[in-house]
Amino acid sequence: METESAEIVEVVETLPNPISFKVHGMMCTELRTFVDRIVKIFPEIEEARPRCSVVIKALCSLNGVIERAKLLLQYCSESSKLYLAITTDAIVSRCRKMKNLFEQCLCQIQGMVPVMLVDEISRIVDDLGAANFVPDKFEEEAGKVVRELLQRGAAALDSMEHTEMKALQTAASRLHITSPKAILIEKRSIKKLLEKASESDQQKKKILKYLLYLLRKYANLIIGSQTDNSSDQNEGAFAVHTHSAYAESHTEYGQYDPQAETLNRAIIPPEEFKCPISSRLMYDPVVIASGQTFERTWIQKWFDDGNDTCPKTEMKLDHLLLTPNVSMKDLITKWCRKYGITIQDPSMQPDELCSLENFFHFHS
């Protein structure tokens, strides 16, 4: 049984960092948190030495679900963004199935362990029952437009090219595949999926090859005015439309997104100005014990949910104090003033607070 425990601990140590999930970040973070909570009490359940065959079988099943959850999380951190988006329904189904299996296994174990463990298992079971794995609206839209493109029958060449450009434009903006680096990473991810695809799965191979073809054919149009200042007016117009569509998509849901406005102006903020958790310009940057800087609202929520590690480095923190990063705040303020960008306090925006709750919250 000791070997089994060691294997379970290894699962936790190799879980992907929450900020590494390429698509379905909120669902994956929620699933990851459940796995982490369950693994922490697994050794104590074993130490209770339940002898009932039903409980022993449930423990084995629980171990198997943890392994499958780990593989799904790893997949969502390494796979192609486009392919993850078009298979959204499958990812949602797998997350919900694992949720139900976790709940079922824990309920079978609950009555055969010490009282203190019963309380903790009960809390996890209650949280599992309340969990609702829902995909991000923008990622879901990206998947929808690409699926519609895949389902489109034969059409005239000119019409098909226009449809392809429009679909890829929408998907790329929603999935943030809008820079040379992002496109390169996406191509490599698709190639890796192709290498791993079995010979019997020809449909998957066909889809992946088509996605790769789209990226190769329209890469310059996706990047658009961010890197290309050529005199091709058609290409320039397409790039501007791409940025505008991104900004409009956020306005449609009542959100003001500084990053969307920045893209619309073809201005890319320095990476160090963005919060590693939200990927947005920081309004109130603070430094934590690991030396990393985050938006105060996001990192405070991370700590409030019981985490004592750095989301970026995964190192355990000596303390949870937040120190204002005055220098970073000054640099961001000057940069925003230069380009006419306004950053609103995320803690004062209802939509942002709702997003935070969906991303981190577990009823305790």
Reduce the DSSP state of residue 229 to 3 states and report it: coil
pLDDT at 8 over 80: no
CA distance 151 to 142: 15
User: Between 359 and 137, whose confidence is greater?
Assistant: 137
Mean pLDDT of the 165-178 span: 89
Lowest model confidence (mean pLDDT) among 49-63, 128-142, 264-278: 264-278
User: Between 111 and 328, whose confidence is greater?
Assistant: 328
Q: Hey, what amino acid is at 76?
A: C
Lowest model confidence (mean pLDDT) among 174-178, 248-252, 347-351: 248-252
Structure confidence at residue 117 (pLDDT): 84
CA distance 41 to 120: 8
Mention every residue, 6+ apart, whose C-beta is less than 8 A from residue 113: 44, 45, 48, 50, 121
The pTM score is 0.60
Domain residue spans of the chain: 2-130, 137-264, 271-360
Return the CATH number of the domain spanning residue range 271-360. Answer: 3.30.40.10
